[in-house]
Structure 1
Amino acid sequence: MLKLFRFMKPYRIAVLFTLVLVFLQTLSDLYLPTLMADIVDKGVVSGDTPYIWQIGGLMLLIAALGGVCSVGASYLSAKSAGAFGKDLRSRVFAHVEQFSLHEFDKVGTASLITRTTNDITQVQMVLTMLMRVMVMAPLMCIGGIIMAMSKDVKLSFVIIAVVPVLALIILAVVSRSIPLFKSMQVKIDKLNLVLRESLTGVRVIRSFNRTTHEQQRFNEANLDLTDTSIKVNRLMAGLMPTMMLVMNIASIAIIWFGGKRIEAQGIEVGDLIAFIQYAWQIMFALIFASMMFVMVPRAQASAVRINEVLDMKPEILDAEVTKRAASHANSVAFDNVSFYYPGAEIPALSGLSFTAKPGEITAIIGGTGSGKSTLINLIPRFYDASEGSVRIGGIDVREMTQEELRDRIGLVPQKALLFTGTIEDNIRFGKEDATDEEVRHAASVAQAADFIAEMPEGYQAVIAQGGTNVSGGQKQRLSIARALVRKPAIYLFDDSFSALDFKTDAKLRAALKTETAEATLLIVAQRVSTVMDADQIIVLDEGVITAIGTHKELLESSGIYREIVLSQLSEEEIA
């Protein structure tokens, strides 16, 4: 957790003032029992009313100053810890945005959400307490013992005997709670995962009548977390009563032995009252310390998980920018490219070589699992090729910055994804400064203008989270419009026409020819009708290119392509 405290550096002045204010507050708390002893011994016993008023007024002043210091310390600690949490969340989010798909697969989306929210909140809460307790608790404990000894050394042995007992109780509870807190964070991950899957997949769950099954999955994850939480809370619940029992026994012992000391004229009544107050101050200091010992293990477990994310180095990094010949060409070339998913023994792609030229349409077709989407993912560097190279305009994509590379690309993913906001906002996601005319033109080319016009709010119609209030075909068309408004040099359509009817598909492809005449188009498709007019068709099978050619050429030369065509078209349609 100390490693994360480097993010507190911008707020070190606020932290310093917090520590000073807590120090002053603690001194005021330690001084008040001594003044109370003076009032009793010198004012009440002797009947000196002016002295009582004088010392009583001084006590009120010191208490007020202590209160001001307490409020100030609380404000500054909360403000600086809150700023720390904000900065840390921003840092984690920015770092995660640099991850390749491999890092996302490795950690998991649900876990990343938990680490960015719950885990950082745990550390932030501990930091707020720590800035106050790390000064107050030891100072109050040590100072209380010193002040108690100043009143009566012999009676102080009761406190000195009690402190180790309380420390052992705290240590026993903490040592048992640390593994449970670590386990809790993992189980929160699992609960978030189940909840996220259940909410995002609610349509599938209901359509297959699996609501009961999902409820059972959630209940199991929830019960698992609850059981661990109960175990921790039992430990915590037993800590406070045990400490109070020990301190009450200590108080009885102090009063008993204190009474004997008063009879022997070893101390006065006021000193005994002050002594009891110091004993309780020491106890409360240990209680605060025990609270920290309870919170710190959980925060430590969270800090480890946060550091795991921050220490994770993205596999895909920008190379150092070197001087190279300026190239505006947007051809895409694969040169003997092979790719292995992490941990896989068999390549997902093997020995791919082809060139997609500007002004031409390159289509990629193949069976399920043949590697079509994997091929597309190598172009914007979502993954890097294990062997060979992917080149754009003759330059290896690994020699470009990711920003430079992706500025050239307009991607329409296989799973159409829309964001909360208006239709206009979603199209402008492709180009933030797009004019209204550009937005409407992109929607028109993408064959989305008609259904947008039918909506009462038009382009200001609100898209629900995940685009659940529009159909699959409408989502695909809006995703295509988002890529078109960008006017990139390279278009990547990853099975982006699958939800469109044949008429809309044909109209869209005809409109794309004019709109993207100078761009390089790569289209992944399952439909033969979508790819048959392409300038070149690449047939993939189990990650290997089996044939490249036009529709007519492949019908004669590629058995796999002809098999795909025959499965979708009749002999008359082929002819």
Structure 2
Amino acid sequence: MLKKLLAYVGEYKKVSLLSPLFIAVEVMMEILIPFLMASIIDDGLNKGNMGHIYFIGLITLIIAMISLSTGFAAGRCAAKASAGFAKNIRKAVFYKIQKFSFTNIDKFSTAGLITRFTTDIANIQNSYQMILRLLVRAPLMLIFATMMTIYINPELSVIFLGAIVILGIVMAVVIFSVHPIFLKAMKKYDKINSDLQENINAVRVVKAYVRENYEINKFKNSTDGLRNTLLKAEKIIIFVAPAMQFCMYSCIILLSWFGAKKIVAGNLTTGQLMSLFSYTANILMSLLMFAMVIVTITFSRASGERIVEVLNEEPSIKNTENPVFEIKDGSISFENVNFSYSNNPEVLNLENINLHINQGETIGIIGGTGSAKSALVQLIPRLYDVLEGEVKIGGKNVKNYDIKTLRDNVAMVLQKNVLFSGTIKENLMWGNKNATEEEMIHACKLAQADEFIQKFPDKYDTYIEQGGSNVSGGQKQRLCIARALLKNPKILILDDSTSAVDTKTDKLIREAFKNEIPDITKIIIAQRISSVKDADKIIVLDDGKVTGIGIHEELIISNDIYKEVHNSQEEGGKNNE
């Protein structure tokens, strides 16, 4: 894990090395100050030598200024290195997520990926900065201060060694105890993000059903769970401070007792005893700093493991060694295809699918909820891969094509229509970043979107709010269809993408497709029979199996499922009248 993460220090290696060097100078300067103060007391004040006091005082002031400036430089370097380190990890995680298939994303969950991208990386950044500063400062201070105590009086230095051993044991117990608790805490963060994301996305439903109190209680339970987990860790961590204070006061008492005896015996000076008190504070504070850093690193270790888990994840869908960069035509074949979202052959979502679709054909797909209509079409642009069998486009297995080439030639309007913050024009350019205004208008006319766009004051420069909240469901669907058409694909897939459009507009869209883009293979998933009745072929799916293929007139006679759907919609239409 550590080796994987440190690879992202990258161009910040220089400042990462400079920070410990500055810290080392700062610590050495600080260590000299108590020693010089002892000289001022013993050789200056006790002997009445004012010249010595002024001289050593000036040297002490210079050393203090050097310590201050190097400390400032170390802090600046550490801040720059940690921020850059986090930036590189954040970029790496984001690029990795962009390569993930739906299967990979389903494995981690959206909320889990967001937590890793925010909280976990922030923890790593804080830890790296503490490592560069405190984890270097604390051991150096401990070593140099201990060396000075041994130099001043080897016998009294044994007191510090005992304190170091006691605190070391306490810290080891704390570290091994809190790590599994911190792992649980990060999962609690995932749960909070999931609840928050779900609540914001479904805020209209929450208000419509007056479920605010329920959502508040659910969120409270999630935050209480995180609080309780962190409190459990804190109950262990709090033992560090009392242990440190016990050692500090014990050292002071023992130094005062034995030091006073040595002064009386003439084996120790007053200045040396004062410097030992200063070194006591330095040693024990360095141990406390070391404990704080170790606890933080332990917390960040859980975050690091979660980040590396994402970085090590191999995309389940990737290019072959020698991918094909050209698609001959928009013909599609399914040959003995089995598919499972869970990759479990015992739980198939699609079973034994055999289909052939010619270029330019319009194909309708009808089926009940859970019949795997979306699963079928998502195999065409390789949003998922088949478990068994082959999906072919232009006579070649989709796995042999370059993924970008494949998806550039397959335009898909998903069930959940998504518009991004920005103007209508910027949203349309997702389909073709080089599209001219004339091409955008033409695509919008085909999708029956131009009419309502022209009614907006800013027309194609109208700003779309996040998620398309300032346009209706039908308008959103038509804009998404226009965006797909701008790709000029060989295959166009509409996954229930006209459900919010009235039947008249739906008919106009289908007529425009028939007259204006006859060479594009069109696959239309719909709930309404009227949306697919004029298709060249209609595929009926039930529980992941094809139960019928034919034109409207054939299926209404030969297929019970199709007939049932048709009759129920006909009856519903008459009742509405």
Q: Do both proteins adopt the same fold according to a TM-score greater than 0.5, normalized to the shorter chain? A: yes
Structure 1 counterpart SS, 2:8: helix
Q: Deviations over 1:238-290 (max 9, x none)?
A: 43244123202311221222111111111111111111111111111111101
Contact 2:330 2:358 in 1 (8 A): yes
Residue aligning to 1:329: 329
1:213 and 2:209 aligned: no
Structure 1 counterpart SS, 2:9: helix
Residue aligning to 1:189: 190
* 1:371 alignment partner AA: A
Unaligned runs of 5+ in 2: none
1:487 and 2:488 aligned: yes
Structure 2 counterpart SS, 1:7: coil
**1:68-83 counterparts in 2 under 5 A?**
68-83=69-84
For residues 276 and 182 of structure 2, the distance between their equivalents in structure 1, rounded to whole angstroms, comes to: 38
Deviation (angstroms), 1:460: 2.4
* 2:387 alignment partner AA: S
Contact 2:329 2:393 in 1 (8 A): yes
Deviates more, 1:262-271 or 1:334-343: 334-343
Contact 1:356 1:522 in 2 (8 A): no
* 2:557 alignment partner AA: E
Structure 2 counterpart SS, 1:364: strand
**1:351-500 counterparts in 2 under 5 A?**
351-500=352-501
Distance verdict in 2 for CA 1:287–1:515, change over 3 Å: farther
Contact 1:361 1:536 in 2 (8 A): yes
Residue aligning to 1:550: 551
Identity of aligned residues (%): 38
1:53 and 2:62 aligned: no
**1:500-515 counterparts in 2 under 5 A?**
500-515=501-516
For residues 179 and 19 of structure 2, the distance between their equivalents in structure 1, rounded to whole angstroms, comes to: 28
Contact 1:430 1:482 in 2 (8 A): yes
Distance verdict in 2 for CA 1:289–1:413, change over 3 Å: same
For residues 299 and 331 of structure 1, the distance between their equivalents in structure 2, rounded to whole angstroms, comes to: 51
Q: Deviations over 1:6-39 (max 9, x none)?
A: 2124322222211211111111111111111111
* 2:342 alignment partner AA: P
Deviation (angstroms), 1:303: 0.8
For residues 471 and 573 of structure 2, the distance between their equivalents in structure 1, rounded to whole angstroms, comes to: 36
Structure 1 counterpart SS, 2:337: strand
Residue aligning to 2:122: 121
For residues 564 and 438 of structure 1, the distance between their equivalents in structure 2, rounded to whole angstroms, comes to: 38
1:568 and 2:569 aligned: yes
Structure 2 counterpart SS, 1:329: coil
* 1:152 alignment partner AA: N
Contact 1:19 1:131 in 2 (8 A): yes
Q: Deviations over 1:225-245 (max 9, x none)?
A: 111222333444443244123
Contact 1:356 1:521 in 2 (8 A): no
For residues 177 and 360 of structure 1, the distance between their equivalents in structure 2, rounded to whole angstroms, comes to: 62
Distance verdict in 2 for CA 1:498–1:69, change over 3 Å: same
Deviates more, 1:419-428 or 1:452-461: 452-461
Unaligned runs of 5+ in 1: none
* 1:434 alignment partner AA: A
* 1:264 alignment partner AA: A
Residue aligning to 2:256: 255
* 2:20 alignment partner AA: L
Query: If the length of structure 1 is used for normalisation, what is the TM-score?
Result: 0.96
Contact 1:366 1:540 in 2 (8 A): yes
RMSD: 1.8
Residue aligning to 2:2: 2
For residues 46 and 438 of structure 1, the distance between their equivalents in structure 2, rounded to whole angstroms, comes to: 95
For residues 346 and 122 of structure 1, the distance between their equivalents in structure 2, rounded to whole angstroms, comes to: 40
Deviation (angstroms), 1:292: 0.9
For residues 489 and 97 of structure 1, the distance between their equivalents in structure 2, rounded to whole angstroms, comes to: 24
Residue aligning to 1:299: 300
For residues 61 and 485 of structure 2, the distance between their equivalents in structure 1, rounded to whole angstroms, comes to: 73
Contact 2:327 2:393 in 1 (8 A): no
1:265 and 2:266 aligned: yes
Q: Deviations over 1:492-532 (max 9, x none)?
A: 10010111011111111112223322211111111111001
Contact 1:338 1:386 in 2 (8 A): yes
1:229 and 2:230 aligned: yes
Deviation (angstroms), 1:334: 1.3
Q: How many residues align?
A: 572
Q: Deviations over 1:366-423 (max 9, x none)?
A: 1211111000110111111111111111111100121111010111001111112222
Residue aligning to 1:90: 91
Residue aligning to 1:521: 522
Structure 2 counterpart SS, 1:368: coil
Q: Deviations over 1:196-224 (max 9, x none)?
A: 11111111122222222211111111111
Deviation (angstroms), 1:571: 12
Deviation (angstroms), 1:173: 2.7
Q: Deviations over 1:410-456 (max 9, x none)?
A: 11001111112222211111111222222222222211222222333
Deviation (angstroms), 1:41: 1.2
For residues 385 and 474 of structure 1, the distance between their equivalents in structure 2, rounded to whole angstroms, comes to: 34
